[in-house]
Amino acid sequence: MQQQKYKKKKFQKHQRSGQQNSQSDFLYNGFLITCDKNREREAVKEAYQIIEQYVELIYPQESQKHEKLLEQNTNNKAIVKMLYNFDTKVKCVIFIRINNQEFPSIDVDELSRIILSDVYEKQQQVARYIYRMIPIQYVFRATLDEFKKHAQFLVNKHFQLDRPHPWFLIFKTRYTDKINKQQVLSILQGLIEPLHYQDWQEPEFVFFVEVNGAIMYINILPKYHEYREYSIRKGGQPVQDIDIPERKNNFVDKIVKKVRCQNEQEVKNVINIQDPNSDFQKKEFFVEQDVELL
């Protein structure tokens, strides 16, 4: 009897805790960030610097409020921040959450638009470790009912009936198989009017959906292809460390290509090769041309 009572109490305890977790509904917004491998710490610091810098430019009142909170944090034990690093449990993927309760006027879409305009229109170098910086309006538990509820808000905001808006779905999933792309697409087709058609080549809006385990991130992104999938790094190439010493053999050799013209004069064209493993170094080049290394 005692064992049965003990088992019954243990089962009820786990059941209550599970009910509390299922009923606790959280809703965040912020930036979903991808970075280079083993550069998560540097990317988090860089994201804090970028967001705080643009918040100071766009929302000066919120920036002053943030400075006052930092002064209060030194005296009080309860720390209140503007930005929080939300653990995604995925390598090279970071989510920076914005404190909406203390800073309700900060709009991630507006912040992202100004940052991307500085990167692509003004040609400013913003990031070193961050590759993509995607604004996210809603972060919630990955269920189809929650997705339908929050997707309806985004559809009503962006898809107006004045003219057709071509759109396309970008769906990514990690560490889960409970939700697939076809389920999400069928829900969106029921929410979006038939006036707005799907176009994967030149979409006006991209409905971005990413599922990492039990968490779902969604938003509607304009100019997705123009901004190179919201990459804030120029060219989208990984950055090499400055601390790495240069090789003694820099392999920047001058290759003199001799070409005989009709008047039997030799013309010397100097070509620089920067990388021995680059695409420029082909076998056909060395076979067809007479090349001499100096």
Q: What confidence tens digit (pLDDT) does each residue in 228-238 have?
A: 999 998 644 44
CB contact at 8 A, 212 and 174: yes
At residue 145, the pLDDT reads 95
Q: How confident is the model at residue 165 (pLDDT cuts 50, 70, 90)?
A: very high
Q: How confident is the model at residue 288 (pLDDT cuts 50, 70, 90)?
A: very low
Q: How confident is the model at residue 114 (pLDDT cuts 50, 70, 90)?
A: very high
Separation between Cα atoms, residue 120 and residue 234, nearest integer Å = 8
**Range name among 60-64, 191-195, 214-218, 284-288 with the lowest pLDDT average:** 284-288
Instruction: Decide if pLDDT at 158 tops 80.
Output: yes
Question: What is the rounded average pLDDT of the residues 179-192?
Answer: 96
- The three-state DSSP-derived secondary structure of 81-133 is CCEEEECCCCCCEEEEEECCCCCCCCCHHHHHHHHHHHHHCCCCCCCCCEEEE
At residue 78, the pLDDT reads 60
20-61 confidence digits (pLDDT tens): 333 345 688 999 999 999 999 999 999 999 999 999 999 999
At residue 162, the pLDDT reads 86
CB contact at 8 A, 94 and 40: yes
At residue 267, the pLDDT reads 39
DSSP code at position 234 = G
Instruction: Decide if pLDDT at 175 tops 70.
Output: yes
DSSP code at position 52 = H
Q: How confident is the model at residue 122 (pLDDT cuts 50, 70, 90)?
A: confident
Instruction: Decide if pLDDT at 3 tops 70.
Output: no
CB contact at 8 A, 44 and 87: no
What is the chain's Cα-based Rg?
Answer: 27
Q: Which of 99, 120, 218, 232 is nearest to 170 (CA)?
A: 218
User: Average per-residue pLDDT in the chain?
Assistant: 77
Q: How confident is the model at residue 74 (pLDDT cuts 50, 70, 90)?
A: low
At residue 272, the pLDDT reads 43
Of 209 and 274, more confident: 209
At residue 251, the pLDDT reads 36
Query: What is the DSSP pairing of strand 167-174 with strand 83-86?
Result: unpaired
CA distances (Å), origin 131, targets 23, 32, 70, 234: 35, 11, 29, 9
Instruction: Decide if pLDDT at 269 tops 60.
Output: no
Residues in the chain: 294
At residue 95, the pLDDT reads 97
Instruction: Decide if pLDDT at 106 tops 70.
Output: yes
Of 21 and 141, more confident: 141
How large a percentage of the chain has pLDDT more than 90?
56
Instruction: Decide if pLDDT at 212 tops 50.
Output: yes
At residue 247, the pLDDT reads 39
Q: Could you report how far apart the first and last alpha carbons of the chain are, in Å?
A: 93
pTM: 0.71
Query: In the sheet that 266-273 helps form, which strands lie side by side, from edge to edge?
Result: 266-273, 253-260, 291-293
Q: Which parts of the chain fold into alpha helices (H)?
A: 2-23, 40-58, 60-75, 108-120, 144-158, 181-191, 283-288
At residue 100, the pLDDT reads 87
